[in-house]
Structure 1
Amino acid sequence: MHCPNCESELVAFAVPQAYQDHLPGSESAAGLCPQCLSLEPGTEPSGDPEFGRISDAFPTTAEAALPLALLVGLLSNLALYRNEISTLLEAVEKAGTDPLLVLDRLDRDPSVETDIDLSGRRRQLEQLL
Structure 2
Amino acid sequence: MVCEACGGDTVAFAVPADLREYAPESSAHAAICSTCLRTHAVSDAPAEPTFEAVHESFPSGEAGAAFALALGLLDSLALRRDAIDDCCSYAERAGADVLLTLDRLAGADSLDSHFDIERRRHQLAEMLR
Common fold, TM-score beyond 0.5?
yes
Are the equivalent residues in 2 in contact too, given 1:57–1:105 (CA < 8 A)? yes
User: Which residue of structure 2 aligns with residue 42 of structure 1?
Assistant: 42
Are the equivalent residues in 2 in contact too, given 1:13–1:43 (CA < 8 A)? no
What amino acid is aligned across from residue 27 of structure 1 in structure 2? S
Count, aligned residues: 128
In structure 2, what is the Cα distance between the partners aligned to 1:38 and 1:62? Answer: 18
User: Which residue of structure 2 aligns with residue 103 of structure 1?
Assistant: 102
In structure 2, what is the Cα distance between the partners aligned to 1:33 and 1:56? Answer: 14
User: Which residue of structure 2 aligns with residue 68 of structure 1?
Assistant: 67
Q: Where do residues 1-129 of structure 1 align in structure 2 (5 Å cutoff)?
A: 1-59=1-59, 61-129=60-128
CA apart distance, 1:115: 3.3
**Structure 1 residues 58-100: Cα deviation after superposition (integer angstroms, max 9, x where no partner):** 02x3031111111111111212211011011111221222101
What amino acid is aligned across from residue 127 of structure 2 in structure 1? L
SS of aligned partner of 1:69: helix
Are the equivalent residues in 2 in contact too, given 1:34–1:112 (CA < 8 A)? yes
What amino acid is aligned across from residue 17 of structure 2 in structure 1? Q
Compute the RMSD of aligned alpha carbons.
1.4
Instruction: Report the identity percentage.
Output: 38
Q: Normalising by structure 2, what TM-score?
A: 0.91
Identify unmatched segments of 5+ residues in structure 1.
Answer: none
Structure 1 stretches of 4+ with a deviation exceeding 6 A read none
